[in-house]
Structures are given as C-alpha cells and as structure tokens.
Amino acid sequence: MSGQPQSPFFRLPRELRDIIYEHYAHDTEGVFYDYASDRLRYASQCKHQDKDALTRSCKLAYGEMQFVSVRANMITFLPGRSEADSITYNDLDSKAGRFERLVQSTRRMKMHILHHVAKGGCVTPTMVDGVALRYPGIARYYRKAYDAIKDGEQLHGTCGISDYDYQWRWQTSASFYDALHYTLELAASHPKFDELAAEASVTPHDSLGMMPPFIPGSQKAVLAWNPERGRIPTDTDLALECCLADSVLRNSLGWVDWPEPAVPVIWYFSATAVAANFLKRLPYAARMRIRLPIVIREERRAAEYCESHVRAIAPYLRENPSLRIELYVGFWTNLVHPFWLESLIHERDVGLISKQHLLRPFADFLDELSLISSGPSPVKGLSVHIEGRMDESVAAWGMIKHAASL
C-alpha cells in the first residue's frame, strides 16, 4: 500500500507503477553518464528537465524512481576528463594524472628493487617460470626483461632505459606490471629480501646518480601497492604519494629527471573505468535489472594502462548474463601509444608514427580480451567495435594483419 491513497496513480499496484515509470524515463537516445557531476543525463538539458520533473515534484515518486533511468535506458559512458577533481599534489590536481604518476613511479621503483633482489639471489628460476606461466601473454618478453633487469646494464647503464623512461614506458603493459609485482611477491620469502629492497631505496637508479622516485625507507609501501586495473582511485590508492621523493630530482650533473607525469596535459579516466566505477556503486538488485545495452565509447587515451581496463567490467558481465556491453575503441583514439607526451623533438615528426606504437597497445588489448573471454568463466555479452572508417584506421588494420601474417 502506498503512502498517498488519495492519488489514483499511487493506488495502482507497484508493478504497474514501475512500468509507467520506465516508460516515462525512457528516451530513444538513452542517457549519458557525466563524470564531472557524477550523474546520468539525457541528451539535452530540455529533455533532462522534462524527464526529471516527476521526481522533483513528488517525494514518493522520487523514492520509487531510483535507478529507473538505469534500467529504462541505454547508458553511454565516455572518458572522464580528470581536471581539478582532487586536491593538488606536486602541481597536479588531476586524479587520473596523480594515479598515472604513481603507476609509473612504482613500476620504475619495482624494476629497481627487482634488480637488487635478483642480483642478491632472491629470485629462483622456478619463480621466473611460475610468473611466466601465470602471465602467458607477456611470458617471452618477461623472461628477456627479467634477465636484463637482473644484469642491470639495460636498466641502469649509460644508455639504460632509466635515462629515457618517459619514452620507453609505453612499451610496458598492465600484464608486465603484474608480472613484475608477482615476481617480487614470490621473492619476498627470501631472508635477504627486506635488506636488499631497503638497499635499493637508497641506491641511484641510473649511471649518473639519479635517485629512485620514492624516499628511502618507503620500499614496503611501494611493494604493497598494486591497485586493481580500470578503477577510479580512492584516496587510499593515492596515499602512497606521501612517499614520493622530490618532484624535481637531479643527478650528479645537476640534470633534472623528467617529471612524473611527463608534462602538463589533460588526463582522462577511460570510459571503461568510469563505467566499472558506476556499476560498482550501483546496488546489486539495480545491476541485475539492467536490460538495455551499456555503450562505452573510448574517445581518448586514458591513464593507467587503459588497454587492460576491460578486466574491470568482466565481473559485472559474469554476474548478470543478460547484461550487454558494446565497447567502441579506435587505433587513433585510445589504442595508440601517447607519442605526443614523449618529447618536443617529436614535433618535427609531425606526420608519421612508428608502427610499433600502434602494435603494442593493440596486441595487449586483444590479449586482455582473450583472457576475459576464455578460461573457466568466460564473459558473454561483450561486443567490441574497432573504428574502421578513417583511411588511417584501415591502414593501421592492414599493418596489424600484416604483423599477424608474418
């Protein structure tokens, strides 16, 4: 029995009212999630006001209409522009930028620690085999990289990657990060591990005496840090920032390290991460009643290994077999190496991009999709659309096919 028996509408059974609510809230264009306001919005302000009128005029209807727009509409998610959406820390007020800085700084630090503990005998061949087995998509590269990290020359040497990590980093992937993290977890059982990790935190990580990106003694906090992929970070995730070293580190020649992140730029959370964050906060019952497709449009390159963010929506597809998600991606939108962040010198190469800058993100993206769509609990209900209308996209696809054929 509803609380307003004088109203003919509220004398109707709740099931009928729900149908009416859904009809009222439905729009053929669906609704869009707005990251900045954390609200679902209709296509136009006028439409939004119309569809919102009932909830504004009746408290009871407002209560009963919770999540109606979610189940009555197709929901579209776009990348979340992360600007002034958090406190300012080391000149960054972008939560996505701050998260990216932590991801890359911890990745560098973990590689540095791995060098020390591998040199010190904490990592056995069986451990390396175990990691390679757990991360098959990156297995061959992981083995090569592990040997090189242990040796140290390609990491810390005169022409080592530490000197130009801001360019090299885009070859890494979420799987590589995970493999690195897992190796250190396995190695941590060695009695000398803590001592060697502590030694790493006070040892330069390049040939010119540049110190690591975290303050001495913070190695345990760094080693423990490994947030899930494809999520909007919480304050707890970002708390590790208090262990970051001076943002303008200098080497023995007085040269400044490339700051993290590389340049002032607008950062984005991937549309997939935004969608996963939305679904996570939705009550279970509301998630299970979603009937219309969710559309995710990745129109920007996002922070934090965005190729891997499909992992974040997999649990919701498994939870609700009726859920349908359409994911739209593009070689030139989200699946491209962010070459514009590398260096001003690339301003001269205005018209060209290395094929590898497209191949790496695409190969990792396919591998992530392969992982969630196979195994004992493969996801159903996901369809992925790669933009293929632009001439350059057709050329990129041709290159991918060519690489596959060799």
Q: Which amino acid is at 309?
A: H
Query: Which of 20, 58, 148, 245 touches other proteins by CB under 8 A?
Result: 148
Stretch that binds other proteins, among 205-213, 239-247, 286-294, 397-405 (CB under 8 A): 397-405
User: What are the tokens at 92?
Assistant: 């960054």
Query: Which of 37, 57, 236, 405 touches other proteins by CB under 8 A?
Result: 405
Site for other proteins in 78-137 (CB under 8 A): 136-137
Select 37 or 389, whichever has its Cβ closest to other proteins: 389
Q: Is the peptide bond before 213 cis (omega within 30 degrees of 0)?
A: no
Length of the chain: 406
Q: Tokens 């149908």 — which residue?
A: 19
Q: Tokens 């004398």 — which residue?
A: 11
Site for other proteins in 314-353 (CB under 8 A): 332, 338-341, 343-353
Query: Which of 7, 234, 354, 377 touches other proteins by CB under 8 A?
Result: 354
Select 223 or 327, whichever has its Cβ closest to other proteins: 327
User: What are the tokens at 16?
Assistant: 């009928």
**CB 255, min distance to other proteins, A:** 11
Query: Which of 99, 169, 358, 361 touches other proteins by CB under 8 A?
Result: 358
Query: Which of 31, 114, 132, 138 touches other proteins by CB under 8 A?
Result: 138
Site for other proteins in 264-283 (CB under 8 A): 264-266
Select 68 or 230, whichever has its Cβ closest to other proteins: 230
Query: Which of 145, 180, 196, 274 touches other proteins by CB under 8 A?
Result: 145
Closest by CA to 114, choosing from 129, 128, 101, 132, is 128
Site for other proteins in 166-185 (CB under 8 A): 168, 171
Do residues 31 and 72 touch, judged by C-beta distance below 8 A? no
Site for other proteins in 280-319 (CB under 8 A): 300-301
Query: Which of 195, 263, 319, 321 touches other proteins by CB under 8 A?
Result: 263
CA 170 to chain CA centroid, Å, is: 14
Do residues 357 and 400 touch, judged by C-beta distance below 8 A? no
**CB 373, min distance to other proteins, A:** 7
Closest by CA to 290, choosing from 44, 31, 54, 9, is 31
The CA–CA distances, whole Å, from 376 to 371, 379, 384 equal 10, 10, 21
**CB 171, min distance to other proteins, A:** 4
User: What are the tokens at 159?
Assistant: 């022409």
**CB 394, min distance to other proteins, A:** 5
Select 139 or 286, whichever has its Cβ closest to other proteins: 139
**CB 380, min distance to other proteins, A:** 9
Q: Tell me the β-bridge partners of 296.
A: 77, 327
User: Taking the C-alpha atoms of 335, 336, 337 and 342 in order, what is their torsion angle to the nearest 10 degrees?
Assistant: -140
**CB 208, min distance to other proteins, A:** 17
Phi and psi torsions of 109, nearest 5°: -65, -40
CA 240 to chain CA centroid, Å, is: 18
Select 220 or 318, whichever has its Cβ closest to other proteins: 318
For position 355 contacting other proteins by CB under 8 A, the verdict is yes
Residues touching other proteins, count (CB under 8 A): 77
Query: Which of 50, 147, 246, 319 touches other proteins by CB under 8 A?
Result: 147
Which x/- pattern, by CB under 8 A, does the window 206-245 give for other proteins? ----------------------------------------
For position 373 contacting other proteins by CB under 8 A, the verdict is yes
Q: Tokens 């009212």 — which residue?
A: 17
Query: Which of 258, 291, 292, 320 touches other proteins by CB under 8 A?
Result: 258
Q: Which residues contact 84 (CB under 8 A, 6 or more apart)?
A: 93, 94
For position 394 contacting other proteins by CB under 8 A, the verdict is yes
CA 345 to chain CA centroid, Å, is: 28
**CB 175, min distance to other proteins, A:** 8
User: What are the tokens at 162?
Assistant: 């530490």
45 exposed, middle or buried (CB, 10 Å; 0-12, 13-18, 19+)?
exposed
DSSP label of 241? G
